[in-house]
Amino acid sequence: MPYRPIRIKLSESTLAADPLRSGGSQVQPASALFGLLLALITVACSARQEPAAQRSDSSTPPQACLGDASQAAQPRRVAVVPQLPPSEIYSRWAPLLQDLGQRSKLCFELVVPPSIPALEQLLKTGGVDYAFMNPYHQVMVKDTYQPLIRDDQHQLKGVLVIHRKSTLKTLDDLKGQTVAFPAPNAFAASLLIRADLRQRGIPIEADYVTSHSNVYRSVALKLSSAGGGVNNTLNREEPEIARHLKILHTTRGYAAHPFSALRSLPASETTTLAEAWLALGNQSQQHPLLNRVQIPRPVRSDYQRDYGPLEQLGLETLVQRSAP
C-alpha cells in the first residue's frame, strides 16, 4: 500500500528571494508507520554546519569508503539531490562512485540529505566536496562550487502531472487548486513550473512534500490536484503509482543537473575525476552505471554556457526564504 506523503504547506505569498536560504517550514508529520519506514531506509544524515574537511561523521552504511580504500586515497564527501527515496539513491550511486573512486584514487562517502532544503544547507556551507545538484542550485552556489560534468543527451524539463481520471484540461483549470512540489527550490519540478504558472497569472496553493516520489503519490491518492516532477523520476516511479498519472504540461528545456566540485579542491584532482567520468561515457555502448544516475552521456560542463542563462529568468523571486 503506498505511503502517505510528508507534507509542508506554504502559499506562494510566503516565498521570498533569498536563494541560499531554504527550509524552515513546519513539517506536518505523516503516519507513524511512514516515519518508521523512512527512518529504516534513510542512509544519510541531515545537513551539518561545519565544512566537509572538518567532519568525521558518516552518512553512509558501514561500507563508507566507495572507491580506493587504500590509506593514500583522499576521502571525499559526495551529496546527491534527494529526488528519490534514500535507499534507491544509494543503490544507484554507490556502484558508480565505487568505480569512479578506483579510477581517480579517491575514497567517496555518499551523503543523501533527507530533503532538498537540507541539501541546500550543505551546499551553502561547503559541507560536501562534490554534489549532484539541480541547475538552479549551481547558480545559487556558483562562487563555491564549479560544475564538472553534465549529461549531454537530455535537457531538463519540468512536467506537471494530474490524476489520469482528473477533469482538468488546461493550466487555467488549476486556479486556486492545490499543487504538490518536492520543494520550493527544486529546479524543473518546482521553480520552472511555478514560473510558467506565474507568467500565465494562475494562482495556486503550493504543497511541498519533500521528494518527487511523494509528489506522485500525492496526486495518485488525490491529495493534490496536480504535482510537479521531471520525466526521469516519473519514468522510474512504481507502476502502481505511475499508472494513475498523466502529464498536463511540460516546461521548456535547460541543461541537465551538474555533478559539481568545491572550487577549493586541487585542480589535478577534479580534472582526474572528470576524466574518469568521460572514460565511462566514451565506451561503445552506454554504461549501465551512468544510465542509473541519469547521466548516460557525460560531457564537461561550463558554468557560463550551461547555467549562466538561468540568472536571467528571475527565478530568485520564487525561491523560499528560511530562518538563518
pLDDT band at 22 (very low <50, low <70, confident <90, very high): very low
Residues of the domain holding 199: 8-27+156-250
Please determine, for residue 277, whether its predicted confidence score (pLDDT) is greater than 80: yes
Buried b (16+ CB within 10 A) or exposed e, 189-220: bbbbbbbbbeeeebebbbbbbbbbbbbbbbbb
Q: CA dist 269 to 25, 77, 105, 119, 263, Å?
A: 38, 14, 9, 23, 11
In a domain, 33, yes or no: no
Please determine, for residue 267, whether its predicted confidence score (pLDDT) is greater than 90: yes
pLDDT of residue 258: 97
Continuous segment of H or E residues that includes residue 136: helix 135-140
CB-based contact 264:132 (threshold 8 Å): no
Asked if residue 306 and residue 163 are part of one domain, the reply reads no
pLDDT tens column, 86-143: 999 999 999 999 999 999 999 999 999 998 889 999 999 999 999 999 998 999 999 9
Measured distance CA(75)–CA(59) in Å, rounded: 13
pLDDT tens column, 163-187: 999 999 999 999 999 999 998 888 8
**Domain at 311, CATH number:** 3.40.190.10
Asked if residue 147 and residue 48 are part of one domain, the reply reads yes
* 278 C-beta neighbours (distance < 10 Å), count: 13
Asked if residue 117 and residue 52 are part of one domain, the reply reads yes
Asked if residue 190 and residue 134 are part of one domain, the reply reads no
Residue 21 CB-density burial (10 A; 0-12 exposed, 13-18 middle, 19+ buried): buried
pLDDT of residue 283: 81
CB-based contact 229:156 (threshold 8 Å): no
Asked if residue 293 and residue 203 are part of one domain, the reply reads no
pLDDT tens column, 112-127: 999 888 999 999 999 9
Asked if residue 311 and residue 270 are part of one domain, the reply reads yes
In a domain, 35, yes or no: no
pLDDT band at 312 (very low <50, low <70, confident <90, very high): confident
Continuous segment of H or E residues that includes residue 290: helix 288-292
Asked if residue 202 and residue 80 are part of one domain, the reply reads no
pLDDT band at 30 (very low <50, low <70, confident <90, very high): very low
- Whole-model pTM? 0.68
